[in-house]
Structure 1
Amino acid sequence: MQKKILIVDDDTSFGMMVSGFLKKKGHDSVLSGNVSGAVDHLKKGTFDLVLTDYRLPDGTGMDVLEKSKQFSSNTPVVLITAYSEIRVAVDAIKKGAYEYITKPVNADELLHVVTKALKNNRKNPSSNSEYISGNGEEARRMEEHIRLVAPTEVAVLIQGESGTGKEYVARRIHQLSNHADAPFVAVDCGALTPEIASSELFGHIKGSFTGAVDNKTGHFESVGRGTIFLDEVGNLSYEVQVKLLRAIQERKARRLGSNTEFTIEARIVAATNDDLRNSSMNGSFREDLYHRLNEFQISVPPLRARRDDLLKYANYFREKAAAEFGKEIEGFSEAVLGIFERYEWPGNLRELRNVVRRSVLLTQGDFVEKASIPPELEIPSVKTDQELNLSDARNATEKQMIEEVLVKTRHNKSETARLLGMDRKTLYNKMQKLNIDY
């Protein structure tokens, strides 16, 4: 079946080349050169996939991502970015992007990612629930905690940086639980706007609000006695937090516009890369909801803290990529392994997977050589004294500005956030980071 793809790139020749390539693969595409044009297309029609460059004349690919999620929360968005902007790509994943591709774009890699994105729906993620137990001390401790809590009905909060594999941990808990024979449904809370969150979680009945043309079953109802995974739960609006708390406490909920309650039987597992404890203390996340979700906490360590497992994961991704691309590759050269060991992996397992998959695609021999990996991996990540001084100067300036506005508003946090052009959660995080008194 032909799929409709929106391509957003100000490089017309590149956009037309990608469009022509996808057309040969049986897909229809629409090309836009900027954010505003992309928004117009998103308003007018439905797309199966959005493929956007990061740097655009009137904004960034993050703006396209935000608008795409606003108009259709389930449409996968793939970001194209320079490898030097890896942290941008990681942030995009955190905010709901399906995947990212680094420049220069390889045709085989592009087709692979596009095909995979079109097959997968973020609301009903891939059934691939493979979980790899690590060999390091922290990995063994995490596995022990998973096995301890899985058979219980205790609510679990999974804490960890973006890309560390929190959903895989949640699926592991589901597999070892008494709910394993029922569905596992992952909900990307970061992609839920306040306007659609209640409908997505609890459903609605026809006519309950403008645009509700049919009845809709929410995730809590559709999952039955399965497991519902609330990813990036810290991004839920305060209003939705209240509804979620009530539903968890009463184990009952209602569709929007309905007077009939349904029983919640699901096992609840949540995840975040924020410090929800601090968020609950400063008021940006409900403290009572935090305690409801955090009956047991599992911390997923970043890849840089799991050096003992790095080679195990790299080889696993190598074998999978080799099978996908029909290649026989025995391993990595010593030079590549050395670079992998020295690199900090800010994007964690997700970044490692992408790097390995791309390198396998480019490899012609039996081993992945240095020429097949991004050269940026060799750039030292340690900041220089000059960079540290600049960072300190920026922090001092930002702290002074926030304190001046707080005095002006008589410490009204909402008004301060509005005047500074940020939301309350961001303000609280900055105040904590800069040691500003509440």
Structure 2
Amino acid sequence: MRNYMIVTLDISAQAALEEILASSGEGKSLTDIAAARSALAVNPADVIFVDYNLLMEDCSLYTDGMSAIWQGHSDVEIVVLVMPDDIRRAVDVMKSGAVDYLTYPINPGEVQVVLERLDKTLMLHTKLDYLRDQFWNEDALHVVRTDSIAMRDAFDKVRQMAGTKTTVLLTGETGTGKSLIAKLIHTHSSRKNDPFVSVHCGAVPDTLIESELFGHEKGAFTGAIRRKIGKFGLAEGGTLFLDEIGTISQSMQIKLLNFLQERTIQRVGSDESIPVDVRIIAATNDNLWDMCEKGLFRKDLYYRLNVFPIEIPPLRERKSDILSFAEAFVSHFSLQLGKDIKGLHPKVLDAFQRYSWPGNVRELENLIERACILEKDDRISLSSIPQELFGLLQGAECSRPDISMAIGRARQLVVDKFEKAYLSELLEATHGKIKEAAKWAGITPRQLHKLMSRHGLQRRSFRPPEKKGTGASQ
């Protein structure tokens, strides 16, 4: 139920509004602004219907009249009542913040249209109030602590839209924390008590992705021995996180587009359309617009997913956050391993600040986990991190820099040299096993392949020689 206030000298207009508003809330009628302000102080209203001339009483500007109402009551919505000849004035008032207007004499049909618009506006206010009251929950406080302007902007966007049904597209490099942001959005939304279901689209074969997402009926294909509800069904009422959305096939893109348009799904082997209440959060490390231009991704699907984009910057662009991330990981793994590691040696932190982190936060997490396993002291020392990470950078710092080239080029040469040394050591340790090496580095196999190609590294160069007698070529 809404609380309404009617401020006009027109008795017939008061009576008409009171009758129409009675079914949707409680109303109070007054005849001057001063009385309205006094009444608002005692009993706040959601909406005030106010005559334009009364609004302008003792004011040279209509903005002053509205400010007088909003002083101490900034959440109240203003609907202006005007004569038909004064509609232009009403439009000017709306430009300054009024939500709508009505003309005399009061028309019930026009009032209903205004009430429908108000419902949407007030619903949004309710959700935003909910977010303001709940942000941030205790578990998220360590996540949102950041000195990075770019990350603060990302978290501000989370605050703005978490409580809505809006579809979100998270973009950023692999390992930047897109899945963490998706969970953050869910846990700070009105859906937080309903399921959060995550699907890594790139990890599901094209032949199974439709069944994985939408489910299937028994006997729909060979091996379908029982009915499967699918991820959409499991996420009913909650959030479905589609990671690496750029990897899905063209046919799957069409089916996902259909869901976003119709909000229904069809299980494999069934023609029945099933309504589903699911909020979609998609993520990608690809440039979807470039894929659209190349014909690899549907533009209409891109527009449907890109309703509210949030870009997550790479770790190299928010190095001020490295210390807080590292300390959080050290605390976590130290407790998990039953150790008492309290922090990082200053030279370790210095090396971390100089490194480019191609694997981003995930690479940092994996490196800290490895260091915590190796560390025997009460803080992470140089001996517990890959020597290339510290040694190469230390050598670059001690040698005389080549000032004949631009600083960006000089920096890139150092980074390239380290990356090649790091990858060579990594592939040597894993005997050229791409999946294992990528997991250890905290990056995807595809990203590892790209880095290897950039530095001219061949997988076969790191495979152990075949033993004689196996029949393999030597």
Shared fold, TM over 0.5 = yes
Question: Does the CA contact (< 8 Å) of 1:183 and 1:227 recur in 2?
Answer: yes
**Which of 223, 226, 234 lines up with 2:235 in the alignment?**
223
Shift of 1:193: 1.7
User: Which residue does 1:198 correspond to in 2?
Assistant: 210
Distance 1:146 1:135 in 2: 17
Distance 1:370 1:223 in 2: 45
- Tell me the alpha carbon deviations over residues 44-83 of structure 1, each in whole angstroms, 9 at most, x when there is no partner: xxxxxxxxxxxxxxxxxxxxxxxxxxxxxxxxxxxxxxxx
Distance 2:141 2:219 in 1: 41
**Which of 319, 323, 326 lines up with 1:314 in the alignment?**
326
Residue 283 in structure 1 maps to residue 295 in structure 2: yes
Change (3 A) 1:245 1:260: same
- Tell me the alpha carbon deviations over residues 385-407 of structure 1, each in whole angstroms, 9 at most, x when there is no partner: 9x89xxxxxxxxxxxxxxxxxxx
Shift of 1:249: 0.6
User: Which residue does 1:377 correspond to in 2?
Assistant: 389
Distance 2:141 2:295 in 1: 37
**Which of 372, 380, 396 lines up with 1:368 in the alignment?**
380
**Which of 157, 180, 190 lines up with 1:168 in the alignment?**
180
Distance 1:384 1:176 in 2: 43
Question: Does the CA contact (< 8 Å) of 1:204 and 1:258 recur in 2?
Answer: yes
**Which of 347, 354, 377 lines up with 1:342 in the alignment?**
354
Distance 1:222 1:131 in 2: 29
Q: What amino acid is aligned across from residue 192 of structure 1 in structure 2?
A: V
Question: Does the CA contact (< 8 Å) of 1:159 and 1:297 recur in 2?
Answer: yes
- Tell me the alpha carbon deviations over residues 131-180 of structure 1, each in whole angstroms, 9 at most, x when there is no partner: 61122211111110111111111110000100111000000010111211
Distance 2:187 2:223 in 1: 37
Distance 1:261 1:143 in 2: 36
Residue 132 in structure 1 maps to residue 154 in structure 2: no
Change (3 A) 1:203 1:130: farther
Mapping of 1:84-123 within 5 angstroms? none
User: Which residue does 2:340 correspond to in 1?
Assistant: 328
Distance 1:191 1:228 in 2: 16
Change (3 A) 1:163 1:131: farther
Question: Does the CA contact (< 8 Å) of 1:336 and 1:369 recur in 2?
Answer: yes
Mapping of 1:7-406 within 5 angstroms? 132-133=143-144, 134-378=146-390, 379=392, 382-384=411-413
Question: Does the CA contact (< 8 Å) of 1:129 and 1:171 recur in 2?
Answer: no
Change (3 A) 1:260 1:131: farther
Distance 1:211 1:131 in 2: 45
Distance 2:185 2:375 in 1: 36
Shift of 1:330: 2.0
- Tell me the alpha carbon deviations over residues 165-213 of structure 1, each in whole angstroms, 9 at most, x when there is no partner: 1000000010111211100000010012221011001010111112211
Q: What amino acid is aligned across from residue 132 of structure 1 in structure 2?
A: V
Shift of 1:358: 1.1
SS across alignment from 1:132: helix
Distance 1:354 1:347 in 2: 10
Change (3 A) 1:235 1:320: same
Distance 1:129 1:140 in 2: 14
Task: Decide which structure has the larger Cα Rg and report it.
Answer: 2
Shift of 1:231: 0.2
Q: What amino acid is aligned across from residue 152 of structure 2 in structure 1?
A: R
Distance 1:196 1:323 in 2: 39
SS across alignment from 2:191: coil
Normalized against structure 2, the TM-score is what?
A: 0.53
Shift of 1:288: 0.3
SS across alignment from 1:265: coil
Distance 2:345 2:192 in 1: 41
Q: What amino acid is aligned across from residue 374 of structure 2 in structure 1?
A: L
Question: Does the CA contact (< 8 Å) of 1:131 and 1:169 recur in 2?
Answer: no
Distance 2:240 2:205 in 1: 19
- Tell me the alpha carbon deviations over residues 12-39 of structure 1, each in whole angstroms, 9 at most, x when there is no partner: xxxxxxxxxxxxxxxxxxxxxxxxxxxx
SS across alignment from 1:204: coil
Normalized against structure 1, the TM-score is what?
A: 0.57
Question: Does the CA contact (< 8 Å) of 1:190 and 1:236 recur in 2?
Answer: yes
Shift of 1:273: 0.0
SS across alignment from 2:143: coil
Shift of 1:364: 1.1
Distance 1:268 1:227 in 2: 6
Mapping of 1:391-430 within 5 angstroms? none
Distance 1:131 1:183 in 2: 23
Change (3 A) 1:130 1:323: farther
The share of aligned pairs that are identical, in percent, is 42
Distance 1:252 1:365 in 2: 57
Moved over 6 A (4+): 128-131
Distance 1:384 1:310 in 2: 23
Distance 2:175 2:143 in 1: 15
Q: What amino acid is aligned across from residue 162 of structure 1 in structure 2?
A: T
Q: What amino acid is aligned across from residue 264 of structure 2 in structure 1?
A: K
Q: What amino acid is aligned across from residue 279 of structure 2 in structure 1?
A: R
Any unmatched runs of 5+ in structure 2? 1-138, 397-410, 418-449, 451-474
Shift of 1:282: 1.9
Distance 2:278 2:295 in 1: 28
Any unmatched runs of 5+ in structure 1? 1-127, 389-428, 430-438
Shift of 1:259: 2.4
Distance 2:213 2:334 in 1: 38
